Structure 1
Amino acid sequence: MSSPETGRSAGSGGWGTLRLLGNELSTQFRRWRTWAMLAALALIPVLIGVALKLVGGSSPGRGPAFLDQITNNGLFVGLAAVTVAIPLFLPLTVSVAAGDAIAGEASHGTLRYLLIAPAGRVRLLIVKYLAAAVFGIVASLTVVLVGTLVGLALFPIGPVTLLSGAQVPIGEGLLRLLAIAAYVAVSLLGLSAIGLFFSTLTSVPIGAMAATAILAVTAQIIGAIPQLDALHPWLFTDRWLDFADLLRAPVVWDSFVSNALLQGAYIVVFGAAAMLRLSRKDILS
């Protein structure tokens, strides 16, 4: 039998990778855990919208960004919800998805089977990473889309006043919301790579999940300490909240590009580390 690293079979090649990814996504989105996490994320904009509907608007400058704009324009529910979710809730759910990627298979005794028939280590890592990235995209869209629907249901909707003071039509405002969801999804790509690496270090999924989530919180704490500002540009969390540049006229894309490059660097470094670790790991189960 050919080795799992070099062997070829009917399932090899691009089509085999897509089929493996389809199976992985199907498994992931059949889990109650996945839907429970998405429901918890969806609850954030619901709670924000209902609370403001019941008690009235927030005073300017108090609470999360965009909160004081919601009662005037419901489209800001999604923006406020993203601002609340990205420091903790989104990273926590992505940490669960990425940390479970390899460690979960090892704990269930299915990792050896996956490597032999016929994934191979590199392809399995790529598929697991893509599945975690897809979850991050779905999670980001969940917060923004549910927030938009809550805003439509509970508050008046109108032209969106941008940070630069200009107003754009509702349609363009919705497109900018989707761009912000894309920005947030890109922000989580580096964390997914870190979680995947931690997942190769252990057969205990909760350990990889916890390590990933703790690192995300630690990076944000470091980012909030002015005395450590020399480290800030290197943190994968450094540009997580810079999506406000997408609410200017004209749109400023510099932050989006810089964030994508930063996350790409983390993907390369931790993806390579994960491949190196898994290639040298003895798979006993």
Structure 2
Amino acid sequence: MSLAEPTPSTAERPSTTGSADRGTAPARRTRPFALLGSELALVFRRRRTWAMLGALAAVPILIAVAVRLTTGADSGGPAFLGDITNNGLFVAFTALTVSIPLFLPLTVGVVAGDTVAGEASHGTLRYLLVAPTGRVRFILVKTAGAIAFCLAATLLVVLVGAAIGAVLFRIGPVTLLSGTQVDGWSYAARALLLALYVTLSMLGLVAIGLFASTLTNVPVGAMAATVVLAGVSQVLDQLPQLDWLHPYLFSHLWLGFGDLLRDPISFDSFGSNALLQLGYLVVFGALAYGRFASKDILS
């Protein structure tokens, strides 16, 4: 008997690859949905997320209470604050208008800036990619989670605004910007369109935050950079000397939802905003993937 016995040839060995692949194929097909569900659970289970949603919900409540307490006084505030006293449904519109410049970008910047950097800082990034989870799928799932937060945040502001407005003020037909009156249900449908418009407006900021999150392992740095860029974009949009740049700023059409409050509804601003935000999503999404594809997940 020789010391080195011949090992079975490849043809003689029992094939286990085919059975393994057959057993894991269904799991791999369903994995993208499982990964998305895990990401959504991660985003909405965090105390930080609920704290930010609570702060956003407080915006329409504070507006409604402040207007209610000052009813009858000559406050000299904006005209749309006076409209709230005539119809409580205006609380939702007012809260969205107030939240867009600061509160929504702040919360979206926190969520988007934490997408990749948060996983890297906690040391879970390498395990997610070894699962195996492709880097393209990882980026797409993280983007979807941030967009889901945007939608939840805007819907929360609208729903809380309508609820507190109905409690503190009378509800009746709503006069649109075109001067036409619509009933409460018609206005509710338009309010949902407003929420979708605002969610769409945040897509560019989500993409920028995602890219910033791939540049560092420190989530706070990515969050701060995203929020600061949101402020810079709005400041640049107010400078008349840079009017040539305004149409390309991701914040340029954030408040351009007036067409949704006319009769008949015009979707011109909705379409223009969609093209602008999708452009940012494609460009900065590609940059995020390019940076993430070369990222050393073991460092």
1:179 partner letter: L
1:20 paired residue among 35, 39, 64: 35
The answer for unaligned runs of 5 or more in structure 2 is 1-23
Identity value in percent: 60
Q: 1:6 matched to which residue of 2?
A: none
> Hey, what's the Cα distance between the residues in 2 that align with 1:75 and 1:99?
33
Do the aligned residues in 2 keep the contact of 1:66 with 1:79 (CA within 8 Å)? no
Q: Following the alignment from structure 1 to structure 2, what is the Cα–Cα distance between the partners of residues 82 and 57?
A: 24
1:40 aligns with 2:65: no
Counterpart AA for 1:71: T
The residue identity in structure 1 corresponding to 2:129 is L
Query: Are the counterparts in 2 of residues 199 and 208 from structure 1 also a CA contact under 8 Å?
Result: yes
Do structure 1's residue 122 and structure 2's residue 140 form an aligned pair? no
Aligned twin of 1:55: 70
* Structure 2 residue identity aligned to 1:12: R
- What's the offset of the Cα at 1:59? 6.3
**Partner SS state of residue 295, structure 2:** coil
Q: Distance in 2 between matches of 1:166 and 1:252?
A: 14
Alpha carbons of 1:93 and 1:57: their partners in 2 closer, same or farther (altered >3 Å)?
farther
Q: CA 1:59/1:164 → structure 2, altered by over 3 Å: closer, same or farther?
A: farther
Please show how residues 185-264 of structure 1 align to structure 2 within 5 Å: 185-264=199-278
Cα RMSD between the aligned structures? Answer: 1.4
| Cα distance between partner residues in 1 of 2:224 and 2:86 | 39
1:154-196 deviation digits (Å, cap 9, x = unpaired) = 0000011001111011110111111101100000011111100
Separation in 2 of the partners of 1:274 and 1:145?
34
Q: Give, as a single letter, the amino acid of the residue that structure 2 aligns with 1:26.
A: A
CA deviation map 1:212-247 (0-9, x unaligned)? 000000000000111110000000000000112111
Amino acid at match of 2:214: T
CA offset digits 1:84-113 (Å, max 9, x no partner): 100010011000111000000000000000
Equivalences, count = 275
Q: Counterpart in 1 of 2:13? A: none
How many angstroms does 1:129 deviate by?
Answer: 0.3
User: Residue 109 of structure 1 aligns with which residue?
Assistant: 123
AA of the residue aligned to 2:215: L
Stretch deviating more after TM superposition (100-109 or 54-63): 54-63
CA contact (8 A) 1:60 1:68 kept: no
Match of 2:88 in 1: 74
| Structure 1 residue aligned with 2:282 | 268
TM-score by length of 2: 0.89
Q: Deviations over 1:229-276 (max 9, x none)?
A: 000000000000011211111111100010011000000000000000
Give the C-alpha shift of residue 66 in structure 1: 2.3
Deviation, 1:67, is 1.6
CA distance 1:281–1:57, change in 2 (3 Å): farther
Per-residue displacement from partner, 1:91-148 (whole Å, max 9, x unpaired)?
1100011100000000000000001102121100000000000000001111111101
Shift of 1:62: 3.0
Is the contact between residue 58 and residue 68 of structure 1 (CA under 8 Å) also seen in structure 2? no
Aligned equivalents of 1:156, 1:185: Cα separation in 2: 28
**One-letter code of the match for 1:268?**
V
Gaps of 5+ in 1: 1-8
**Aligned-pair distance for 1:58?**
7.8
State which of 121, 131, 154 in structure 1 corresponds to 2:145: 131
Letter in 1 for 2:173: P
The equivalent of 2:294 in structure 1 is 280
Deviation beyond 2 Å, 4+ runs, structure 1: 9-13, 57-63
Which residue is equivalent to 1:162? 176
With structure 1 as the length reference, what TM-score do the two structures score? 0.94
Q: CA deviation at 1:12?
A: 3.0
**Alpha-carbon distance in 1 for matches of 2:227, 2:28:** 34
Q: Flag the structure with larger Rg.
A: 2
